[in-house]
A and B are shown apart, each in its own frame.
Chain A
Amino acid sequence: MTPPKIIRKAREKGLQIIAITDHNSAENIPAFNALKYEDIKVFAGMEITTSEEVHVLALFEDYEEIKPLQEIVYETLEGAEFDDRLGYQLVVNEKEEILSFVKRPLIGATKLNVFEIVKLIHRYNGLAIASHIDKEVFSIISQLGFIPEDIIFDGLEVSVYTDINEAEKRFGNLKAPLIRSSDSHHLHEIGRAYTEFFINAPSLEEIRKALRGEDGRRVL
């Protein structure tokens, strides 16, 4: 999973928009900016772990926009320094060279709760998507039983393990629209699930409109 390989795979799978959402980190986004390609839009993202251990996807137009949130998440991550015996948390560049090893415990959780995280994502103009709500752990529903009324998600993600018709049956009554995506942790998983949007351009603003069903934009 390096930036050039991810782009190549996404292209091969016919994806036009992808989001890079490392756990609690956005440090690998700049490498994508340094690559030269025009056919695939890359959103700057993070999969944030809240204090309840709910995973929330934060999606932003670009790296500059996500930076302030990245800093807050880093400051509030709990846990001991990451131990290399668990593997490596790498920051790489566009040439697949290792720039640094992240020592913060990205596998841990922030001190901020899901309400606070969603509010922060919105303050910095991002989209807040509840991750894999069909999963038995780390989802808003597994951790909190149901979605609290005061938390406004822009979308709810289901994993590759739930097809969209089943998802509609199980979660269709929830307020936010459903999307399905791959949650790829390995190259071969890219494109195994995806969502089609009817939009005018590959921008976060257009996706926002589609999720809200505004101006003729919609989730297909």
Chain B
Amino acid sequence: MKISDIVKPLELESLTEDFKDREIRGAYVSDLLSDVMANARSGDVWITLQTHINVIAVATLKALPAVIITNNRRPDDETIKKANEEGVALFKTNLTTFETAGRLYQILKAG
């Protein structure tokens, strides 16, 4: 499963100019960055409401290929800039976290 495979089904809007179409191994859902640092696994897509620039630092640290910000929240420009610099694929979606995670779960289990 690649990042590009989930863009349509999860109704993702790409915020980074272009992204490396990396392999997805699983996903992690959390709004506590400390929890993500402790428990996300490399290759996970991270689904969150948080939009702070630290999100990108944590994603880089944990080798998470993509971050999806849910509920139509828009991160500020600093966060997007950092994502571009670090090569983290950053997306937003109008879907709720529940809907996003649910759809992704089905895709990953089927794929």
Binary interface profile of B, 53-96, with partner A (CB < 8 Å = 1, else 0)? 11001100000000000000000000000000000000000000
Contact B32 A137 (CB under 8 A): yes
Binary interface profile of A, 140-151, with partner B (CB < 8 Å = 1, else 0)? 011111101000
Contact A145 B53 (CB under 8 A): no
* Number of A residues with CB within 8 Å of any CB on chain B: 13
B36 at the interface (CB under 8 A from A): yes
The A-B contact count (CB < 8 A) is 35
A166 at the interface (CB under 8 A from B): no
B106 contact set on A, CB distance < 8 A = none
A52 at the interface (CB under 8 A from B): yes
Chain A, range 46-71, C-beta contacts under 8 Å to B: 52-53
Cα A141 to Cα B36 with chains together (Å) = 12
A interface, CB within 8 angstroms of B: 52-53, 113-114, 136-137, 141-146, 148
A-B contact pairs, 9 of them (CB 8 A): A52-B52, A113-B52, A136-B32, A141-B34, A142-B32, A143-B33, A145-B54, A146-B57, A148-B54
